[in-house]
């Protein structure tokens, strides 16, 4: 950093009073300290951001793809033809129950973040698709949600203790 030169205003001879120069030195020292701390924080932030992670993002997170003028959102989707348990990586389950009844089991409510949503859509017009809660949790106050409507669709969302249909 370049040192600060203090010159008295024209017409005044002598040096700047000591009290003023002391303030300037204190300000200069404080600015150097702030600059140094900011530089250290930047190095720490870059170090943290550069470290690889093995964590899987929750299914409520979506992947954005920049297509120029808009952001395209891509969400996890899975097709099933037999009984299945929803995982945190699922967001939408497409159920083909043409071969017979299928049960889709929600994960234990204690393992799911508050606000987590899962959608279940029947993609056939035949058999029953049953969505069931596990443990002490219910779906709108009952243990199961019967989705026998052809091409029926619904979403459940966690409040941390129960599932609610949207």
DSSP letter for each residue of 31-58: HHHHHHHHHHHHHHHHHHHHS---PPPP
- Of 78, 88, 93, 92, the residue nearest 57 (C-alpha): 88
Q: How far apart are CA 20 and CA 28, in angstroms?
A: 12
The per-residue pLDDT for 147 is: 82
- The pair phi, psi for residue 48, each rounded to 5°, is -65, -45
With residues binned 3-state (H G I as helix, E B as strand, rest as coil), the percentages for the chain, rounded to 5, are: 20, 30, 50
Spell out, as residue ranges, where the chain has pLDDT lower than 50.
Answer: 57-62
pLDDT reported for residue 85: 93
The per-residue pLDDT for 60 is: 45
CA of 74: how far to CAs of 12, 28, 106, 108, 134, in Å? Answer: 71, 51, 22, 25, 28
Contact 114, 134 (CB under 8 A): no
25 vs 7: CA distance, rounded Å: 15
Domain boundaries, the chain: 75-165
Q: How many Cβ atoms sit within 10 Å of the Cβ of residue 32? A: 11
pTM value > 0.75: no
- What confidence score (pLDDT) does residue 128 get? 78
Q: What does the alpha-carbon distance between residue 142 and residue 140 come to, in Å, rounded to a whole number?
A: 6
- CATH, range 75-165: 2.60.120
Give 81: exposed, middle or buried? Use CB within 10 Å, 0-12, 13-18, 19+: middle
* pLDDT for residue 158: 93
């Amino acid at each position: 950093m370049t040192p600060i030169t203090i010159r008295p205003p024209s017409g005044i001879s002598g040096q700047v009073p000591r009290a003023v120069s002391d303030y300037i030195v204190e300000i200069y020292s404080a600015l150097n300290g702030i600059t140094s701390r900011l530089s250290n924080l930047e190095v720490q932030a870059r170090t943290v951001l550069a470290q690889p992670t093995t964590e899987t993002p929750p299914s409520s997170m979506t992947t954005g793809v920049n297509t120029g003028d808009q952001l395209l959102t891509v969400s996890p989707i899975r097709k099933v033809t037999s009984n299945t348990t929803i995982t945190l990586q699922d967001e939408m389950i497409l159920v083909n129950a043409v071969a017979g009844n299928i049960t889709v089991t929600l994960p234990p409510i204690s393992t799911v973040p508050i606000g987590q949503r899962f959608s279940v859509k029947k993609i056939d017009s035949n058999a029953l698709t049953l969505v069931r809660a596990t443990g002490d949790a219910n779906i709108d106050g009952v243990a199961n949600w019967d989705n026998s409507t052809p091409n029926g669709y619904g979403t459940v969302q966690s409040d941390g203790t129960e599932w609610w249909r949207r």
